[in-house]
Structure 1
Amino acid sequence: MKHTLMVCMLLVFVFQSHTYAKEQKTIVQTNEVYTFDDLTEDLFHLQKTYRDSLEVKLIGHSTFHKPIYAVKVGNGEQSIFINASHHGREWMTSMLVMKMIEDYARFHKNHTSYEGYSTSILDNVSIWFVPMVNPDGVEIQQTGLFQKAHKEKLQQLLIMNGGAIDFSRWKANGTGIDLNRQYGAGWEELEDSAPYPFYQLYKGNQPFIAPEVHALVKFTEEIQPLIAVSYHTSGRVLYWYFQTEKPHIKRDKTIAKQISTITGYKLDKPVHTAIGGGYTDWFIQTYKRPAMTIEISYEVNETNPPLSVFQEEWERNRKVGLHLAKEALQLK
């Protein structure tokens, strides 16, 4: 009888532990539109839950004065860097990166392996994330800024949106600058830029003037990452090259091929991608280190990918950060 009782108690304990573990995975919700407010609330809970494995840092403010946060997972002095949502309609990348942050922090805290990767990697190489580079653009795309507090901005936004009241195609920041055309590498050569502030493709009258870009550049200079990734949508394609110097081409393409194998995304041929103005273009040119732009989701036309695709994209990308941290160990 005592033996039976002990077995029952053990089963209850195991069940409760399993239930607790499942609960720990649900801070970041992925079944609804992911907003800046969701991200802010999730960061508060993640920091509280995983304070020994996770650090949140304010690195700047957007055009509309929203905070831009960086998050570090791990305790390594060296780092890699992953950012998301340079474009308003690409907020699913923020959801994906936040889910990555949560999973990595949880497994690191528990000293357990993740998808075959030892999370002790993060004691040597941390992963820094900026999960939402463009919080204003995300809010505009999701709401059109029809809230009362933003009525004074609405008329200008409507002009930049071509008069349309549907903002689902919005890519730019709050002043109509396309942030991923703001970086100095190849900026002057960009020929298909919109001639004035617009919902997409306007590169600004000079590089690095958008506050969001200024914050990201300053932060990159501060942490000096060994590898950088910028998540975008859509097309399930991976860009890895920008005027890459000959000695580095083999190294960078090898790493890109590994990520292509993990995600199932195709590598784009360099001749079709070297247009300039993007974050990874600037990073490659400035630091002579590997960087890649990863486009998640099947192709969608001028809008956000549907929520129904998230789970597949998560399964494709969940190992990317840890794999790159492992690769970075070889670059030190």
Structure 2
Amino acid sequence: MKVKVRNGDTITYYSRLFSLPPSLILSEDGKETMIQGDTIIIPGYKISPYQVKQGDTLIGLSEALSVPVDMLHLLNQEKLSENGAYWNIPQRMEDALYSGKKEYTSETLQKDAESLTNAYPFIRKEVIGHSVLEKPIIMLIIGNGPKKVHINASFHANEWITTGVLMEFLQRLAQSAVSNGNLAEIKARKLIEDITIFAVPMVDPDGVDLVLKGPPAHPEFGPLAMSLNKNSSDFTGWKANIRGVDLNNQFPALWEIEKERKPQQPSPRDYPGDEPLSEPEAKAMALIAETYRFDAVIALHTQGQEIYWGFEGREPTVSEEVVKKMEQRTGYRALQYLDSYAGYKDWFIYHFQKPGFTIELGLGVNPIDLEQFEEIYQQAVQIFLAAME
């Protein structure tokens, strides 16, 4: 909700008026100081129109609606009070902006990310790169704490349910921060004071769209996808990007082992490419880790209810403490080592010697049935919070 600054208004005053921490209230252009006429964004509020009736006053309306009179004045500086005019009435946003329980295409993600950042502008959106088909790969950043935790989803195309899980988490965290509520018994405001979360909800937008919508209308990659899929229109088994490269086999962490034993040419799954970081999606993910120097990484995958947390003995000792909490809270099975290399979590541990976790959410065959959504969402939240403590 946008408001115009009056002479003498301050962020501190708005913080008291709207019961929000000053850190959640932002100027439209990012300035830290305010002058009269500036536009300030109040998160988690919306405006409802009210048609003025004869005899209405701001004081009377304030008492009837339990809204501070100066809040009404702030939103109606240019409104006339005569009969028939409309006044702006501020309301807290209580309904969800979207549901994560759905088939998440790249277009759906773009729409929901816009809704989320418009309603909660303290969530910052950054385009970290583009896919083979030039679709933006977005990162959503929430929090201002010193500990930096990265969470990603949909590295694999047919694991798109993980995008919904991550988007649901971001929405509920933002809602709880505005309302001063809890997220799984943790104070949301305290969480975003202590932690900065860097979330990439869809690493492989081309692949996800291929699984959910079929081949693109592209003269090269549409026919290629059909050919690699043996001319079948059923892409539910597809894990790779649109070029047939498995993005989670693309990182320089003993990549040569995967290259030797995995498919030697583009494929719906497992092909590690001709060289590490050959794909734009993988390059973007490596770049953000180098740029932001995350303290921990969580990579969401499906399926198996397992947590992989080690790589070649380079994981720090704290990783074991964290993964034990994850096991206790979810019932998932923790596995330190696996005969698998060149994944994002593997590279993060190998390169930075910091905690990294690959989470296999849910049970069954990919794509995981949406009927499992709420259960795996609750498990994922416990995993996130264990990594952030």
- Bin of the TM-score, shorter chain as denominator length: 0.7 to 0.9
Aligned partner letter, 2:369? P
Q: Please give the secondary structure, in 2, of the residue aligned with 1:319.
A: helix
1:210 partnered with 2:279: yes
2:325 aligns to what?
258
Conserved? CA contact 1:122–1:325, under 8 Å:
no
Conserved? CA contact 2:207–2:242, under 8 Å:
yes
Conserved? CA contact 1:242–1:274, under 8 Å:
no
1:145 partnered with 2:208: no
Conserved? CA contact 1:127–1:321, under 8 Å:
no
Please, which of 301, 304, 316 is the counterpart of residue 367 of structure 2? 304
1:4 aligns to what?
none
Please, which of 166, 184, 189 is the counterpart of residue 252 of structure 2? 184
Percent of pairs identical after alignment? Answer: 29
1:316 partnered with 2:316: no
1:48 aligns to what?
118
1:152 to partner: Cα distance: 4.7
Q: Please give the secondary structure, in 1, of the residue aligned with 2:218.
A: helix
1:170 partnered with 2:170: no
Q: Please give the secondary structure, in 1, of the residue aligned with 2:233.
A: coil
Query: Based on CA coordinates, which of the two structures has the bigger radius of gyration?
Result: 2
2:76 aligns to what?
none
Q: 1:11 to 1:289 in 2, by over 3 A?
A: farther
Alpha-carbon distance in 2 for matches of 1:213, 1:274: 21
Alpha-carbon distance in 1 for matches of 2:311, 2:345: 8
Q: Please give the secondary structure, in 2, of the residue aligned with 1:277.
A: coil
Q: 1:37 to 1:196 in 2, by over 3 A?
A: same
1:98 partnered with 2:167: yes
2:270 aligns to what?
201
Between 225-234 and 188-197, report the one with greater CA deviation: 188-197
Alpha-carbon distance in 1 for matches of 2:271, 2:200: 23
2:388 aligns to what?
325
Q: 1:99 to 1:31 in 2, by over 3 A?
A: closer
Conserved? CA contact 2:311–2:336, under 8 Å:
no
Conserved? CA contact 1:72–1:127, under 8 Å:
yes
**More strand as a share of residues:** 2
Conserved? CA contact 1:145–1:151, under 8 Å:
no
1:27 to partner: Cα distance: 1.9
Alpha-carbon distance in 2 for matches of 1:11, 1:298: 51
Q: How many residues align?
A: 303
Aligned partner letter, 1:78? K
Deviation string 1:265-297 (CA, Å, 9 cap, x unpaired) is 111252xx1421100000001111111000111
1:219 partnered with 2:293: no
Conserved? CA contact 2:149–2:294, under 8 Å:
yes
1:28 to partner: Cα distance: 2.8
Between 107-116 and 129-138, report the one with greater CA deviation: 107-116
Aligned partner letter, 2:237? R
Conserved? CA contact 2:102–2:370, under 8 Å:
yes
1:281 aligns to what?
346
Superposition RMSD in Å? 2.2
Q: Please give the secondary structure, in 1, of the residue aligned with 2:103.
A: coil
Alpha-carbon distance in 1 for matches of 2:256, 2:64: 66
1:140 to partner: Cα distance: 0.6
1:154 partnered with 2:222: yes
The runs of 5 or more residues in structure 2 that have no matched partner are 1-61, 67-90
Q: Please give the secondary structure, in 2, of the residue aligned with 1:294.
A: strand
1:322 to partner: Cα distance: 3.2
Alpha-carbon distance in 1 for matches of 2:236, 2:104: 14
Alpha-carbon distance in 2 for matches of 1:51, 1:63: 29
Please, which of 197, 203, 212 is the counterpart of residue 133 of structure 1? 203
Aligned partner letter, 1:103? R
Q: Please give the secondary structure, in 1, of the residue aligned with 2:359.
A: strand
1:192 to partner: Cα distance: 3.2
Aligned partner letter, 1:157? A
Please, which of 104, 124, 129 is the counterpart of residue 60 of structure 1? 129
Q: Please give the secondary structure, in 2, of the residue aligned with 1:198.
A: coil
Conserved? CA contact 1:28–1:98, under 8 Å:
no
Aligned partner letter, 1:154? G
- TM-score norm. by structure 1 comes to 0.86
1:260 to partner: Cα distance: 1.8
**More helix as a share of residues:** 1
Conserved? CA contact 1:90–1:304, under 8 Å:
yes
Q: 1:115 to 1:208 in 2, by over 3 A?
A: same
Please, which of 100, 111, 122 is the counterpart of residue 30 of structure 1? 100
